[in-house]
Structure 1
């Protein structure tokens, strides 16, 4: 799956008129192999660890191009740098641990039904939505007054 995803990412860059250099190809492999929600700095670190020799500016430009091409999604969680994930995943929502920054994916049929019911009651149908739950482990204390 990683190889297929990397090939799709390469094609998206080519479709956008971007040359796929050795450094970009290595970065695309890192992106394709990511099963979490890395930010640009983390992707840069991983690419460097893989010997890609890619600049952080190239990472940002590549991510922006891939987002424009619709193959990755930019996730902007409150107080966090933008994170990225593949756009071809089935629908899911996110829980963000406000103390650790961990991002967890989840699906819940009851939440999906309730959202659809609420929209219908108001005369609408949902065409797209994104649900983010900002969470803290029960009993945990934090100095963050915003939560």
Structure 2
């Protein structure tokens, strides 16, 4: 049985062609790649898959509820998705071109846990987005 089928079953989701195709797209994403529902819809259309945009939104919402994907709301107002991972990571987002890079910093994690502890909290989840301008030609614009 394919890995995506196992993941869908573990999450309690019935295996359907749209779910498998969408999971495969997310699984093939490169490090730091995040896709909107529209991006996924376009990729499905390019490969001749007959999956509507409403279905893509519904499947992504189901995946999010099942803990298979993480949804991010970067500046620009639209949601993007990536497969959920055990390892916590944060994001740097270019405010000009929208490029997103991920990073993991154990020192930062320790410090944030210390700050929460000093304030009487235990961190259960966190979201950290750093916004700036990337060096891939955006600075000169």
TM-score by length of 2: 0.82
- Cα deviation per residue 1:16-53 (whole Å; 9 max; x = unaligned)? 4x561x34433332222223101111111111122212
Gaps of 5+ in 1: 143-147
1:27 to 13, 22, 33: 22
Contact (CA 8 Å) 1:93, 1:131: kept in 2 or not? yes
Gaps of 5+ in 2: none
Contact (CA 8 Å) 1:9, 1:66: kept in 2 or not? no
Task: Say how many residue pairs are matched.
Answer: 136
* Deviation (angstroms), 1:105: 0.5
* Deviation (angstroms), 1:88: 2.6
Equivalent position SS for 2:122: coil
- Cα deviation per residue 1:43-66 (whole Å; 9 max; x = unaligned)? 111111222121111101111111
1:110 to 100, 107, 110: 107
In 1, the alpha carbon distance for the partners of 2:134 and 2:29 equals 25
Equivalent position SS for 2:49: coil
Structure-2 residue corresponding to 1:78? 75
Contact (CA 8 Å) 2:5, 2:20: kept in 1 or not? no
- Cα deviation per residue 1:70-127 (whole Å; 9 max; x = unaligned)? 1111111122410001113411001111111011110112211221221122222222
Q: RMSD over aligned Cα, in angstroms? A: 2.3
Equivalent position SS for 1:59: helix
In 1, the alpha carbon distance for the partners of 2:10 and 2:59 equals 10
